[in-house]
A = this chain, B = another copy of it.
Amino acid sequence: MSVEFAQIQMEPAYRKVAAVIGARIRSRELREGARLPAETELARQFGVNRSTVREALRELESRGLLERRPGSKLMTVSRPRQASVAAGISDALLLHDVTARDVWEALMILEPPIAVAAARARTGADLEQIGAAAGALAAAADTVQAVQRTAQVLRCIGAATHNPVLRLAQEPLLLLLEPSLRVMIDKVPQARTRILNAQQHLLETLTRQDEAAAQTWMTRHIRDFKKGYELAGIDLAVHLAPRGVD
């Protein structure tokens, strides 16, 4: 006959303050670009100390709901930049011991349909961007550049879907892809030309809006990554290593 009590949790004030301001931002009551009141003013309104307000602001800032325009000390409301969200996601995945296989499997699932959607929804401006990224890749000087620009082409294709969900789902995968891709390209000489070739074909299929061909080439493209890993002797079951400090 044990009596059960619900767990009572005290929320610290800084968390409540963050929750209140965060809710206002999410509800669009505070719109993007709007200036937040000064810290002293917020402290007065909430009836807490400025230090407490500051802790709340740090929380919102790290979630991307607040941002400081460069060179300015004003805090303004912002929508989270996809880059910062994606960085958080890849951090989480790294700490959860994802393997290269996990990432590759997810890319294999995600990228071909993204190519199809991009073929359907791409605009002329999208094609220009993809073309520019592909051109930059062809002119890449070193391995690091080649890897970054390979990811950039995929990123542009994701943008061409005009679906923010797909773009955000794709981004952390690209971040996680880079380190292992760097090793692979270094060890497999033919990888670069294969990548270049596949992406050229992709650009062309997107231009023609040939959805089936886009899917085929993207599938081939991603599958090549795995082949490259095997040729390079990279164990797909190995946990990915964290990338360098920001």
Residues in chain B near residue A19, CB distance under 8 A: 245-246
B85 contacts A80, C-beta separation under 8 Å: no
- Is A192 engaged at the interface, CB distance under 8 Å to the other chain? no
- Is A143 engaged at the interface, CB distance under 8 Å to the other chain? no
Within 8 A of B (CB), among A107-163: 109-110, 113-114, 117, 163
B109 contacts A96, C-beta separation under 8 Å: no
Closest chain B residue to A116, Cβ basis:
B109
Residues in chain B near residue A245, CB distance under 8 A: 19, 23
Our pick among B105, B113, B246 for the contact of A163 (Cβ within 8 Å) is B105
Interface 1/0 per residue, A181-225 and B, CB below 8 Å = 000000000000000000000000000000000000000000000
User: What is the bound-complex CA distance between A159 and B174, given in angstroms?
Assistant: 22
- Is A98 engaged at the interface, CB distance under 8 Å to the other chain? yes
Within 8 A of B (CB), among A21-61: 23, 25-28, 32, 51, 54-56, 58-59, 61
- Is A164 engaged at the interface, CB distance under 8 Å to the other chain? yes
User: What is the bound-complex CA distance between A91 and B98, given in angstroms?
Assistant: 24
Known contacts being A7-B70, A19-B246, A58-B55, is A165 close to B92, with CB within 8 Å?
no
- Is A13 engaged at the interface, CB distance under 8 Å to the other chain? no
11 pairs, A vs B, C-beta closer than 8 Å: A51-B51, A55-B58, A56-B58, A62-B63, A64-B92, A80-B88, A82-B96, A85-B88, A85-B92, A89-B89, A93-B165
Write the residues of chain A forming the contact surface with B, with a CB cutoff of 8 angstroms. Answer: 7, 9, 14, 18-19, 23, 25-28, 32, 51, 54-56, 58-59, 61-65, 70-71, 79-80, 82, 85, 88-89, 91-98, 102-103, 105-106, 109-110, 113-114, 117, 163-166, 168-169, 173, 242, 245-246
